[in-house]
A and B are shown apart, each in its own frame.
Chain A
Amino acid sequence: MKVEQISIFLENKSGRLAEVTNILFRAGVNIRALSLADTADFGILRLIVNQSDRAKQVLKENGFTVGKTEVVALEVPDRPGGLGEILKILHEAGINVEYMYAFVQRSGDNAIIIFRFDELDKAIRVLTGSGVRVLRGEEVYAL
């Protein structure tokens, strides 16, 4: 039920993001979703790719600091209030969202949103219990 996300430390310098995408392109890795969190000095690039291990390896070889985190991909009804329903379930269960970002692709009529929780397993239990569809890793990498 969990999805592997890789994260990369980037200094706020022009060309660093392009460098990452170039390295992944040369390695034949396809980016499925991404988010960039930034501060004045540095940024953290978070990626869901079709081949996590390969991506991590080539980025490390090129001198980047790379981390691996488990996140959850949820199907969210693509209509007003869709996301709100899910956040309400999480709030009532006392689960904190560390960060989230949307997937470009859709799954049928639904949007896909990536979530990072402090209590991952509990979140999965609560969400599936409430009828929210949690996507498997293979489904996400293959989208």
Chain B
Amino acid sequence: MIWDDEFETLPREALAALQSKRLRDLVDRVYSAVPFYRRKLDEAGFRSGDVRGLGDLPNLPFTTKDDLRETYPFGLFAVPMERVVRVHASSGTTGKPTVVGYTRRDIDTWAELMARTLTCGGTTKGDVVHNAYGYGLFTGGLGAHYGAERIGATVIPISGGNTKRQIMLMQDFGSTILLCTPSYALNLADVMAEEGVDPASLRLKCGLFGAEPWTESMRGEIEKKLSISALDIYGLSEVIGPGVASECIEEKRGLHVFEDHFIAEIIDPSTGKVLPHGENGELVFTTITKEAFPVIRYRTRDISRLSVSPCSCGRTHSRMDRISGRTDDMLIIRGVNVFPSQIESVLMKIEGVEPHYQLIVSREGSLDVLEVQVEVGEAIFSDEIKGLETLAKRIEREIKELLGVSCKVKLVEPKTIQRSEGKARRVIDKRKL
């Protein structure tokens, strides 16, 4: 199912022409409205009117998270505050949050994009949408809310937390679509099992999960435990919030980037050079329709790759791979780059291992030590020491094979690794450098 038949299936040449025109307009607009961009464009040798189209994109300057911090709070807004109808802000785990703004038209665009996203999962006006993304400064809750309302579905604005009550309301209200983070979906499944609620007895049919990186194996786990289709959606507040890209239920292979609004590029994070389609690198977005808070070549620090191969759903928009890591989440252990998602992929390959794990990095003497904590559930428990030790050794060996880093697997009791009510905390880095 497609929400916007015209723009989501635009032939690639027409799409490129549209992107070129919108990019030109964007650069002209920010050049005159935002001193920060004027200075950056000047430094890069661009004057207003110099940018003619997509071909100029690789030469435009990047925008980074640091730029957003330096211009805190409203320095990158491209319209007067009278036209800004809402702000959102990131959690800001270090220092000040990053603040983004929306005009009335931006809010309208966002609702359309989230309507597209929800339609990717088959949502129609007959559906009951259980929206467990957090409401507030975080973009997840309100972004999804407006999209579901745009479709005409019934929205349950439950927000996060109070899991038992969420399950009760899902049963009572007959929720059909679930929106939350993937780790919270697993948490819901666990609590349902504890409470003796059979997920198959609910009316849930599809979940759209985002706001944190997850894996194919987690998808399998969620789909099995909750008896639903699980789709990956992508977005970040600096670009618009959720609604940047979404998987389609037809293929569930890569997320269609809504390219009539956002231009995606993949770059080498160390050199900044644009990489060809199919290569892994850092995702970079340029927003070509936003009014209040447009960004030029915003570096997401998310690792992915792009593909333009045709999709059976009929959308012509290129697809990005699910996020495989963060350029800044990357752990460097004994000089080797390690992404938590790689370790997760090893664990998920082993029958019976639950997707709850934690990585503890410490330093003994001058050596980095990686400990992987894995919960022992019934499926992998053995009454013999050698059974459990063989399992721990196997995980250690497979991690070593994949990453080239040796680690120590520590088996822990079930439910001892903290469950998330939002983003899962996978890494504890105790190194004091």
Contacts and interface: CB of A to CB of B under 8 A. Distances in A.
Nearest to B389: A39
Contact of B381 (A11, A63, A65): A65
Nearest to B416: A11
A122 to B, nearest CB: 18
Given A9-B376, A65-B376, A65-B378, A44 B413 contact: no
Contacts of A63: 413-415
Interface in B376-433: 376-378, 381-385, 388-389, 410-416
A67 B381 contact: yes
Nearest to A40: B410
A25 interface: no
A65 B383 contact: no
B411 A67 contact: no
A98 interface: yes
B386 to A, nearest CB: 9
The interface centre, meaning the residue of B377, B378, B383 with most chain A CB atoms within 10 A of its CB, is B383
A10 B412 CA distance: 8
B28 to A, nearest CB: 61
A5 to B, nearest CB: 7
A17 to B, nearest CB: 13
Interface string A49-67: 0000000000000011111
B187 to A, nearest CB: 15
Contact of A116 (B383, B388, B389, B412): B383
B378 A42 contact: no
Contact of A99 (B384, B410, B415, B416): B384
Nearest to B375: A65
A41 B410 contact: yes
Contacts of A10: 413
Contacts of A41: 410-411
Contacts of A66: 378, 381
A9 B381 contact: yes
A65 B385 contact: no
Interface in A1-16: 5, 7, 9-11, 16
Contacts of A5: 383
Q: Place the interface of chain B in its size category.
A: 10 to 19
Contacts of A67: 378, 381-383
The interface centre, meaning the residue of B376, B411, B413, B415 with most chain A CB atoms within 10 A of its CB, is B413
B388 A44 contact: yes
Contacts of B416: 11
A64 B413 contact: yes
B388 A65 contact: no
A11 B413 contact: yes
Contacts of A42: 376, 388, 411-412
Nearest to A39: B385
Interface in A108-127: 116
Contact of B412 (A7, A11, A46, A64): A11
Interface in B268-287: none
The interface centre, meaning the residue of B385, B412, B416 with most chain A CB atoms within 10 A of its CB, is B385
A18 interface: no
A79 to B, nearest CB: 30
A99 B412 CA distance: 23
A98 to B, nearest CB: 6
B389 A9 contact: no
A69 B410 CA distance: 24
A93 B161 CA distance: 60
A7 B385 CA distance: 11
A69 B378 CA distance: 13
A23 to B, nearest CB: 14
B383 to A, nearest CB: 4
Interface string A102-143: 000000000000001000000000000000000000000000
A11 B376 CA distance: 10
A66 B382 CA distance: 9
A66 B377 CA distance: 9
B93 to A, nearest CB: 30
A12 B411 CA distance: 10
Interface string A71-114: 00000000000000000000000000011000000000000000
B384 A44 contact: yes
Contacts of B377: 65
Contacts of A64: 413-414
Given A9-B413, A37-B384, A98-B384, 17 more contacts: A5-B383, A7-B381, A9-B376, A9-B381, A9-B388, A11-B413, A11-B416, A42-B376, A42-B388, A44-B382, A44-B384, A63-B413, A65-B376, A66-B378, A67-B382, A99-B384, A116-B384
The 9 closest A-B pairs by CB, nearest first: A7-B383, A69-B383, A9-B376, A65-B381, A67-B381, A11-B413, A37-B385, A63-B415, A65-B376
14 contacts: A9-B376, A9-B381, A9-B388, A9-B411, A10-B413, A11-B412, A37-B384, A39-B385, A41-B410, A42-B376, A44-B385, A44-B388, A63-B413, A65-B377
Interface of B: 376-378, 381-385, 388-389, 410-416
